[in-house]
Amino acid sequence: RFATLTRQPDDPLLRIIGQHAADPRTNKIDLGVGVFRDEEGRTPVMTAVKAAEARLLTEQPSKSYLGPEGDIGFVRALATLVLGDAVAAERVVGLQTPGGTGALRLAAELLARSGVERIWIGSPSWANHAPLFRQAGVEPAMIPCFDLNTQSFDLDGFLTGLGEAGAGDAVLLHGCCHNPIGIDPDAAGWHAIASRVAERGLLPVVDLAYQGLGDGFDVDAQGARTILAAVPEALLAYSCDKNFGLYRERTGALFAVTPDRDSGATVFSNLLALARANWSMPPDHGAAIVRIILEDESLTAEWREELETMRQRLESLRAALAAGGRIGTIDLAAVAHGKGMFATLPLSPTQVEWLRDRHAIYMAGSGRINIAGFNMAAVQTFHEALRDMVAK
């Protein structure tokens, strides 16, 4: 049987991690992997998370099974935090998932089960979006809608692309801090997208994986809230892996907005059945930590402050990067339009390779950089490397 399989390519980002680790040059810069880093290049455990873990260690009464819905206290606390009052509580159901990826996978399977055949995705998008939906039986349809030279989102192009969508199709939207581009619609853009989605009868799937790392915690949820408030049915895949620094703990949730309580119960029963057949129950630890933090005012305040420090670090690194101005044909100043961890620079694969070989600067072949991979000195090194590149 296995002889029928064909060899799959390595994950290119994992290859970059390996190459970076093996590079003996001490001035090497890693802009590849999408994790937050501090000025020293570390990805520390947040202090509020450590405090919640300590509490969990002494106070957790049992490790007996929960259920396919996971930690319901976590799901409730998160729903309040993320949705605000955008949708009436009786129209929302939710369950814990293994990370944002698990939430997206469950969303995709629910769509497939509901007869949705196609999902529209602005392109480029997170590299896992298209394969994830395709493997669940929902065909991705890409809408090219970013201009790397001007670092801008082409709202008209995106809306025109959605004009081709049929009623019953789904559309994927990055809630904030777009990965890999870093450019989000502005408030007016979100309203225009919400109207188009509603008038064409599309089912929006909002992927919110970086709340708090863009403009601020509440502002970052506004796009998602605008969309969810405009339609009878929607899905929201949420990840706590970046904004709580929980990455390997695989902490996330999927929320479904439904027309009424009764249809919500039906949707929820399907989500439980799908979760049961996939992973039975989600891993507990990360969600328990988030619940402990969100149910405690002082831990919540501590976490919010740490998150805000992370956000400000990204903002100041982005500003420092943008201060490089125009280098050859690359307008770094335009990077200031973006937010969050990522930007994608208009670099060719050959230029990306040259920067790696000549200057020990590692980034995805697409030109995507993780801004948190810089420190202030590395930004200057990067500017110099680009000047060297365009001078040759």
Catalytic positions, written as ranges = 126, 207, 242
Residues 5-44 as x/- pattern, contact with ligand PMP by CB under 6 A = -----------------------------x----------
H or E segment and range at residue 77: helix 72-83
The residue number with the shortest CB distance to ligand PMP is: 99
- Please name the residue that has the structure tokens 């990455």: 247
Q: Shortest Cβ distance from residue 32 to ligand PMP (Å)?
A: 12
| In the chain, beta strands by DSSP E | 29-30, 92-98, 118-123, 139-144, 146-147, 152-153, 170-174, 203-208, 234-239, 251-257, 326-327, 330-331, 342-344, 361-362, 368-370
Alpha-carbon span 202 to 133, nearest angstrom: 16
CB nearer ligand PMP, residue 103 or residue 330 = 103
Alpha-carbon span 318 to 336, nearest angstrom: 6
Alpha-carbon span 368 to 361, nearest angstrom: 12
Q: Please give the size of the binding site for ligand PMP, defined by CB under 6 A.
A: 12
Binding flag, residue 209, ligand PMP (CB under 6 A):
yes
Binding flag, residue 100, ligand PMP (CB under 6 A):
yes
Q: Shortest Cβ distance from residue 333 to ligand PMP (Å)?
A: 25
Segment near ligand PMP (CB under 6 A), from 6-14, 93-101, 130-138, 320-328? 93-101
Please classify residue 238 by burial: count the beta carbons closer than 10 Å to its beta carbon, then call 0-12 exposed, 13-18 middle and 19+ buried.
buried
From the list 71, 74, 122, 179, which residue makes contact with ligand PMP (rule: CB under 6 A)? 179
Strand partners, 146: 153
On the CB side of 38, CA atoms within 13 Å amount to 11
Please classify residue 351 by burial: count the beta carbons closer than 10 Å to its beta carbon, then call 0-12 exposed, 13-18 middle and 19+ buried.
middle
Binding flag, residue 252, ligand PMP (CB under 6 A):
yes
Segment near ligand PMP (CB under 6 A), from 80-88, 97-105, 221-229, 273-281? 97-105
CB nearer ligand PMP, residue 100 or residue 223 = 100
Q: Shortest Cβ distance from residue 261 to ligand PMP (Å)?
A: 29
CB nearer ligand PMP, residue 68 or residue 282 = 282
Q: How far is CA 137 from CA 133, 140, 332, in A?
A: 6, 9, 39
CB nearer ligand PMP, residue 207 or residue 220 = 207
Alpha-carbon span 63 to 68, nearest angstrom: 15
CB 208 within 8 A of CB 72: no
From the list 32, 99, 223, 286, which residue makes contact with ligand PMP (rule: CB under 6 A)? 99
Q: Shortest Cβ distance from residue 124 to ligand PMP (Å)?
A: 11
Binding flag, residue 207, ligand PMP (CB under 6 A):
yes
Q: Shortest Cβ distance from residue 246 to ligand PMP (Å)?
A: 8
Three-state secondary structure call for residue 344:
strand
Task: Record the tokens describing residue 353, joined without a space.
Answer: 């390779």
Q: How far is CA 17 from CA 11, 13, 179, 182, in A?
A: 10, 6, 18, 22
Q: Shortest Cβ distance from residue 3 to ligand PMP (Å)?
A: 32
CB nearer ligand PMP, residue 140 or residue 324 = 140
CB nearer ligand PMP, residue 211 or residue 239 = 239
CB nearer ligand PMP, residue 32 or residue 264 = 32
CB nearer ligand PMP, residue 241 or residue 306 = 241
Alpha-carbon span 235 to 257, nearest angstrom: 6
Binding flag, residue 239, ligand PMP (CB under 6 A):
yes
Binding flag, residue 126, ligand PMP (CB under 6 A):
yes
From the list 92, 93, 101, 307, which residue makes contact with ligand PMP (rule: CB under 6 A)? 101
Binding flag, residue 243, ligand PMP (CB under 6 A):
no
Binding flag, residue 241, ligand PMP (CB under 6 A):
yes
Strand partners, 236: 206, 255
**Backbone phi, psi, residue 115, to 5°:** 85, 10
Segment near ligand PMP (CB under 6 A), from 1-9, 96-104, 268-276, 318-326? 96-104
- Contact footprint for ligand PMP (CB under 6 A): 34, 99-101, 126, 174, 179, 207, 209, 239, 241, 252
